[in-house]
Chains A and B, each alone.
Chain A
Amino acid sequence: MTTIDKSGLQIPVNTSPKKPPVSVLGGFLTVLTYLITFIFFFPILWMVLAAFKTEQQAFNIPPVFAYTPILDNFRTAFERYLPALTNSLVAAFGSTLLAFVLGLPAAFALAFYTTKRSRGVLTWMLSTKFMPAVGVIVPLYLIFKGFTLFGHEFKLLDTQFGLIIMYTTMNLPLVVWMMHSYMTEIPYAIFEAARVDGAPVWLEFFGMALPLSLPGISATALLAVIFAWNESFFALNLTTSNATPLSVFISTFKTGEGLFWALMSAAAVLTVFPVIIFGWVAQRQLVRGLSFGAVK
């Protein structure tokens, strides 16, 4: 009994000296994490700071940290903001919706109705991402500039619909791949049970696969929206004035003569702002979605 008591006493005595080193290391790691986070965050902070400066202050060397913030840049940038914001919202959300309408059934079929070609189909879809965008821009442009179908002339250049199609094809592989991996995490036995009870395929899809993969859907949707939101190469080349989204809006402030850093920073802040809101709203779903299937 005494020995037990002794050992019982000894345990805290032995472990307590070990605690301080752990917390010193922990503290160091915490500081290091904050430091690294700050380094990564600094460009964004600098962008926000520059947005409230005069052009002279934004360009000054050494950098100016103390200054009277001004709103002139935002006022100027805002003049062209709303049409571009509308285009970005329509293109990003429209393309994401369309990508899900097409991609979810595909992911479902590839996950639960596998054939010997399923793997090949998945790899083929991914292969559309192998080539850099610039490699296809000329043929795309020729298609977008107009074609006649059933006696109707379709012109996709500089239209929101053209951007939606472009971003849908861009995000479709992402949607199919991510949703495929989420859906394969759903136990197959659930579907077998449903089939025994005579559930048709559409019920399997709408009643079971969709609700069960909701966290995955929201995470994938946020990613797809962000990719479409930030895309600038296709936007720059395939739109001119009616359908230009925010990524092109930023580049319209670049000039070869004179200073433009502060104004461009204000435009960038206005562009990033809506995405931060989406991310903030979707945060909880996103964390659940991203960790989904991590513990297996």
Chain B
Amino acid sequence: MKFTAPLISAALLLSSAATTSLAASTITVATVNNPDMVTMQKLTPEFNKKYPDITVKWVTLGENELRQKLTLDIASGAGSFDVATVGAYEVPIWAKNGWLDPLTPMFAANPEIAKAYNVNDILPGVRTALTIGGNLFAVPFYAESSMTFYNKDLFKKAGLTMPLNPTWNQIQSFAAKIHNPSGGTYGICLRGLPGWGENMALFTTIVNTFGGRWFDNNWQPQLNSPAWKSAMTFYVDLMKKYGPPGATSNGFTENLTLMSQGKCGMWMDATVAAGFLSDPSSSKIVNSVGFANAPSASTKRGNAWYWSWNLAIPKSTKEKDAAFKFLTWATSQEYIALVAKEKGTWASVPPGTRVSTYNNPEYKKAAGAFSALVLGAISKADVTKATKDPVPYTGIQYVAIPEFQALGTQVGQYLAGALSGQTSVDQALSQGQAAAQKVAKDGGYQK
């Protein structure tokens, strides 16, 4: 008698599992849990007003969990997801693996959607990053670059002014004058948390502007070059002298908190932080936050990064049409206006994707303090020309090869080791060089 209950419930569950997939036009959207995506999820009823026959299901996860899950699902062809949120780093890799459906033919097959959507309104640099072999493989949900944030009050007290285009040397001298750890303020806050998307994102932009690169055109690693040495010496020195204690555990979120509590003189990070620092509900420095471009050194190339979260359609989907309708809705001008209406301010719309957003007078008014800088940074960021010397890869703060996640994180750990004083800069560089050499060789990149 005890056996029947679980067996019946098991049978019921099995049959329900078999029938759910039969319902037509249900799409599953996988996305990261960033504030802009939470807004998208909340606006699903608006999508259903336009397309009542499409049911949208959401899978919202942290970035790493999502990446792991999507990779497993798309590579095995299981087809659990119809729309996937894919980072700028993965789009070219996944497109080359044949995991994503090219969007260009879909736009051609749906002239009405294509006309309203206007692909040419997407910022040119962003389009370049998402086009592989002449086909657009993803559309941007929001894009970002990096820039300088500073505390005007602390600058005023020290009698300093921040130029629009600072150099890293100027930054160092400013940090020295502001740094006052006994008073609870630090000259500069930068990412120190190891990870390819954490400290290495920022540090690779420093390497770029110091004239360095990860690999030369023959895929010979360049981590033992003078440019890497001067970049790493500079970063470690700057952070040790004028940074907060325990910087190796500070990523984006930690630095955002330090900065918004008025504890940092300067911070170089993602442009998306401009919105957070200007938001009175989360920031104590709304009236004193200043904005400038990302610092540069010997070259301006690659001094600011490019990142976008994009929507793409996995090859394994069975609901291609519905997925295309959703993807073009969520990245349209119409959607951006909808967010502005819903949030009551144009400052909260997903930034960095469309020319029309930046031409919109209401957006200019709401995001005035930083909109021009953000637009300038994103439109200048070119994933194909990020270094002084030529390279065989694309990407500014990353190398768009599948092995980079592991390599970047490994080198990030060596960098954190040098920052915490466990190893010397020279040791960190030679360890990094060996790791990069192994990747270039094992991956078959070196000819």
Contact = CB atoms under 8 A, between A and B. Distances in A.
A241 interface: yes
What range describes how many residues of B lie at the interface?
35 or more
B2 interface: yes
B35 A258 contact: yes
Interface in B41-71: 57-63, 65, 68-69
Contact of A141 (B9, B34, B62, B76): B76
B5 to A, nearest CB: 8
Contacts of A146: 78
A252 B60 contact: yes
Contact of A256 (B13, B62, B78): B62
B80 A157 contact: yes
Contact of A237 (B35, B72, B79): B72
B35 A255 contact: yes
Nearest to A255: B33
B253 interface: yes
Interface stretch (A121-129, A159-167, A181-189): A159-167
B243 to A, nearest CB: 15
Given A241-B28, A252-B33, A255-B34, A157 B78 contact: yes
A242 B65 CA distance: 17
B109 interface: no
Interface stretch (A148-156, A220-228, A269-277, A284-292): A148-156
Contacts of B282: 55-56, 258-259
B252 interface: yes
B33 A253 contact: yes
Contacts of B34: 255-258
B59 A240 contact: yes
Given A240-B81, A257-B252, A258-B253, A161 B14 contact: yes
Given A158-B80, A241-B28, A259 B18 contact: no
Nearest to B263: A61
A247 to B, nearest CB: 11
A94 interface: yes
Contacts of B189: none
B111 interface: no
Contact of A164 (B10, B57, B63, B257): B10
B62 A254 contact: yes
A278 B369 CA distance: 54
A98 interface: yes
Contacts of B68: 236-237
Contacts of A241: 28, 57-59
Contacts of A158: 80
Nearest to A162: B17
B61 A59 contact: no
A145 B76 contact: yes
Interface in B258-303: 261, 270, 272, 276, 282
B20 interface: yes
A240 B30 contact: yes
Nearest to B10: A161
Contacts of A254: 33, 61-62, 65
Interface in A69-101: 90, 94, 97-98, 101
A152 to B, nearest CB: 7
Given A94-B10, A251-B62, A154 B80 contact: no
Contacts of B5: 97
A133 to B, nearest CB: 13
B58 A154 contact: no
A259 B253 contact: yes
A59 B68 CA distance: 28
Contacts of B58: 241
Contacts of B270: 257
Nearest to B21: A155
Contacts of A248: 61
A256 B32 contact: yes
B65 to A, nearest CB: 6
A25 interface: no
Given A55-B282, A138-B76, A251-B65, A101 B18 contact: no
Contacts of A162: 17
A138 B69 CA distance: 11
A156 B17 contact: yes
B344 interface: no
A131 interface: no
A55 B385 CA distance: 40
B9 A94 contact: yes
Contacts of B63: 256
A247 B6 CA distance: 23
Nearest to A153: B18
Contacts of B6: 94, 97-98, 101
A71 B2 CA distance: 42
Contacts of A259: 253, 256-257, 282
B69 A237 contact: yes
Of A144, A159, A256, most buried by chain B (CB within 10 Å of CB) is A256
9 contacts: A59-B257, A60-B261, A90-B13, A156-B17, A157-B80, A159-B16, A241-B57, A251-B62, A256-B33
Closest 10 CB pairs of A and B: A254-B62, A145-B78, A159-B17, A161-B13, A255-B33, A241-B57, A257-B34, A97-B6, A256-B63, A240-B80
Given A240-B28, A242-B20, A257-B253, 10 more contacts: A142-B76, A236-B68, A240-B30, A240-B73, A251-B65, A252-B60, A256-B63, A256-B252, A257-B252, A259-B253
Interface of B: 2-3, 5-6, 9-10, 13-14, 16-18, 20-21, 28, 30, 32-35, 57-63, 65, 68-69, 72-73, 76-81, 252-253, 256-257, 261, 270, 272, 276, 282
